[in-house]
Amino acid sequence: MEATERAFVFLDGFNVELTILADNRSGLIPETLKKVDPRYYITRFAVHLL
């Protein structure tokens, strides 16, 4: 048998950031998105590891 080496990563947790089109305060919404319900259109999703 061959010896193998593996790296293990342990996380203490994570934070999630979610921005939707309804959060847009500039009022500049592209024409292609004006028919979309702004409450359900995600414009940014980020996961930050702790």
Whole-prediction pTM: 0.58
**Per-residue pLDDT at 2:** 67
d(CA 28, CA 24): 8
Give yes or no for residue 3 having a pLDDT over 80.
Answer: no
SS3 of residue 44 by DSSP: strand
**Per-residue pLDDT at 4:** 79
The stretch 39-47 carries a mean pLDDT of: 92
The stretch 2-23 carries a mean pLDDT of: 87
Closest CA to 22 of 38, 36, 7: 38
Tokens of 17: 């950031």
Tokens of 45: 């999703």
